Amino acid sequence: MSVAGETLAGAGDLTLRKTRESLWSKARYKFRHDVWGMVALGIVLVYFVIALGVWLGIWGQGWSAVGGEKWGSMSAEYWFGTNIIGQDVYDRAIYSIKTAFEIGLVVAVLSTVMGAVLGAIAGFFQGSWTDEVILWLMGVLDSIPFYLFVAAVAFALGGYAYSMHLAMIAVFWTITARLVRGEVIKLKNFEFVEAAHAIGVPHFLIIFRHIMPNTLHILLVQSTIVFVAAIKTEVILSFLGLGVKDGVSWGLMIAESTQEVLAGHFNNFVAASVLMFGLVMAFNMFADSLQDALDPKKVS
């Protein structure tokens, strides 16, 4: 064996590309050179630190205390003034960052996991009854009017605090699942998957070792998109009375402000919308840059 090996080594193409990089380091490189993406990530991190502070009890704790006068204006004590019953708008707006992250993270992570698993299974067994059932379920969930669905879940769960989260997860996973399914259908016809079959790798290992890791970029980008969608949806749901039950959120603040703005009190409205716009905008830009860096097919 060795004799032939040596002669081959002479003939073989041994020179390697000198640029050495993994797929992730390439993405990191691209992202680092994306100024807007880095700025956006910085802003998101600032928000995240604030949310962490609220969670640890460092600030934003006075959100429910009724202290000031009705509709008080900005002052040293109440930076953003007070609301209709004299609560501190600043503390409420800050506390809402935590609420937003809670909703965004819970919904994004769980719906992505669910979408990834179901989408991968559907795609891998494309055309089988498993696929048909998952497709049918996605079709069904997509065709129920969303706000009605949330309301229905809220009814069914009898006012359970997380019914909004559950409803969002139940609806948002279908988008991820469709994307993953499409990608898996493409991937499973790749020759490296056939090679795994030829070796005798069991199906579940093929899905989780060979196929799923190749969909990670979709999952990462998709979860940032769901994060934003969840925060934006919360606002509408809270306005409709279907949203956050305990605590305060930007949605509740804006809902509160609908009566105030026509009377000329903008504190609640401006505080909540500006903070929310900042986070959503930064996250959208971050998601964009992430996609540029990770998705080889993304055209810009």
Q: Which of residues 17-56 bind other proteins (CB under 8 A)?
A: 17-23, 29-30
Tokens (6 digits) for 86? 């004299």
DSSP E strands, 66-217: none
Site string for other proteins, 62-101 (x = CB under 8 A): ----------------------------------------
Q: Which range, of 46-54, 71-79, 106-114, 193-201, touches other proteins by CB under 8 A?
A: 193-201
Q: Which residue has the tokens 């969002």?
A: 168
Positions 237 through 256 that interact with other proteins (CB under 8 A): 239-242, 251, 254-255
Task: Tell me the closest approach of the beta carbon of residue 77 to other proteins, in angstroms.
Answer: 27
Note whether 295 and 221 are within 8 A (CB).
yes
Nearest-angstrom CA–CA distance, 250 and 244: 10
Tell me, by CB under 8 A, how many residues bind other proteins.
Answer: 80
SS3 of residue 35 by DSSP: helix
Q: Which residues are within 8 A (CB) of 279 and not within 5 positions of it... i.e. 6 or more apart?
A: 43, 44, 47, 97, 100, 231
Nearest-angstrom CA–CA distance, 271 and 257: 10
Using CB under 8 A as the binding rule, whether residue 232 contacts other proteins is answered as yes
Work out which of 9, 35, 56, 76 binds other proteins, going by CB under 8 A. Answer: 9
Using CB under 8 A as the binding rule, whether residue 160 contacts other proteins is answered as no
Closer Cβ to other proteins, 121 or 231, answer by number: 231
Task: Tell me the closest approach of the beta carbon of residue 282 to other proteins, in angstroms.
Answer: 9
